[in-house]
Amino acid sequence: MSDAAQNIAEHIAGIRGKIDTAARAVERDPAQVSMIAVSKKQPDDRVQAALEAGHRVYGENRVQEAQQRWSERRAQIPDLDLHLVGALQSNKAKDAVELFDAIHSVDRESVAKALSKEIARQGRRPELFVQLNTGEEPQKAGIAPGAADAFIAWCRDELDLPVVGAMCLPPVDEEPAPHFALLAKIAARNALPKLSMGMSGDYETAVKLGATHVRVGSALFGAREG
Ligand SMILES: *Cc1c(COP(=O)(O)O)cnc(C)c1O
């Protein structure tokens, strides 16, 4: 194994260990927390190293980049688990439903409708997370907390979407914990069992507040290109 590959294997083990410790600290079962290795904009040899280390759960933020990286591997590695963590455009819903096992970025009505149409057409039902704009930032995607209950109900009841969880990206200049707590509260009152929250800088906090999916990129692979 090359030095770089060795490094990535160590990072995976180290982050997994911290996730497990954080989970146990709040009496959660570490097995309930999935570590998504966010491979966007990473050189392919790093991703190959993570695969060789046995990691199977990956996240991407662009459909086209994900197709290039994963379409062939998908056929070769049956237990791959692919998550779209970035914004989805409605005209990419077809490709996204074809490729991904989970989509974390259901952030507006048009996207929900496009996904509903494709899921019905393809008969593939990726797990869906509703993205909430917990900081109510005008430039950021996501449903406002005050509109969350109605949006989630509409997705489930009117569109028959397989919504299983909620996702957030806290404002960069704020403590993430109150945002994670708010996300957990909204998910709980809507009976959504899964929480996608926590990135390289704050995944341990997120696990302590109930994350079932942490999305870790640079801490695992190193700094991104471009
Ligand atoms: C890039 C990205 C991540 C990973 O970020 P790191 O800080 O590198 O861990 C997580 N979630 C989303 C939505 C992202 O776009």
Domain coordinates of the chain in residue numbers?
3-221
pLDDT tens-place string over residues 74-101: 999 999 999 999 999 999 999 999 999 9
Shortest-distance atom of ligand 1 to CA 224: 8
Tell me the per-residue pLDDT of 136-145, one tens digit each, with 9 for 90 and over: 999 999 999 9
Listed residue (162, 167, 125) closest to 148, CA to CA: 167
Banded pLDDT at 1 (limits 50, 70, 90): low
Amino acid in the structure at residue 106: V
Residue 64 has pLDDT above 80, yes or no: yes
Q: Ligand 1 centre and the CA of 87: distance in Å?
A: 12
Determine the 3-state secondary structure of 194 from DSSP: strand
Rounded mean pLDDT, 179-194: 98
Question: Is 3-221 CATH 3.30.40.10?
Answer: no
CA–CA separation, 81 and 64 (whole Å): 17
SS3 track for 56-105: CEEEECCHHHHHHHHHHHHHHCCCCEEEECCCCCHHHHHHHHHHCCEEEE
Which atom of ligand 1 sits closest to the CA of residue 104? 13
